Amino acid sequence: MFREDATLEHTNTAEPSRRDFLYLATGAVGAVGVGAVAWPFIDQMNPDASALALASIEVDISAIEVGQSITVKWRGKPVFIRQRTEKEVSEAKAVKPEDLPDPIARNLNLEANAAATDVNRSAVGKEAWLVMVGVCTHLGCVPLGEEGDFGGWFCPCHGSHYDTAGRIRKGPAPENMLIPPFQFVSDETIKIG
């Protein structure tokens, strides 16, 4: 049946067929179609213009008297801005971080492990000013100002007491209230964010 002198040549140099082209073109159109369908779903996850506009705000603090607080909204959360009295500042400075339930400052302007001293909870050279996100770190309630056992903030929902530097002193809250990124643009204006 087989001849010994017969040589079989097998070459694999066939030209691409029309079928190969149709497969590639169909795959490319399908990939573009999937991308076109997926893009609106991906794009809707981006923050809207109103959220981007609130990424940073400037607050005029010229009308805030010593011992007064205001609440502003930043990124959908309340931010307490308080010009503390000398008594409030001295009481807060007297507390040692190691005596606190949360010895970390939680100040986004400092290193993550900065101690919760009063100076690390306020602005350098502007220690009377306290700027913090007004949300209880237990379950996200909004604490009441100038309340509680330490004269700072009190969350009536579950009984968390914060001092005049916004540090947790008593109750179920695990952390001090957060200090957002902020800076003094001038003596009368604070930029948050």
Query: Quick one: the chain helix, strand, coil %, rounded to 5?
Result: 25, 25, 50
* Token pair for 184: 């003094």
To the query of whether residue 138 is one of the catalytic residues in this protein, the response is: no
- Closest to 130 in 3D by CA, of 179, 91, 86: 179
Q: Which residues lie below 8 Å from residue 94, measured CB to CB, with a gap of 6+?
A: none
Local structure of 42: helix, strand or coil = helix
Catalytic site residue from 10, 138, 158, 161 = 158
Distances (CA, A) of 45 to 39, 41, 151, 187: 10, 7, 41, 38
**Catalytic site residues?**
158
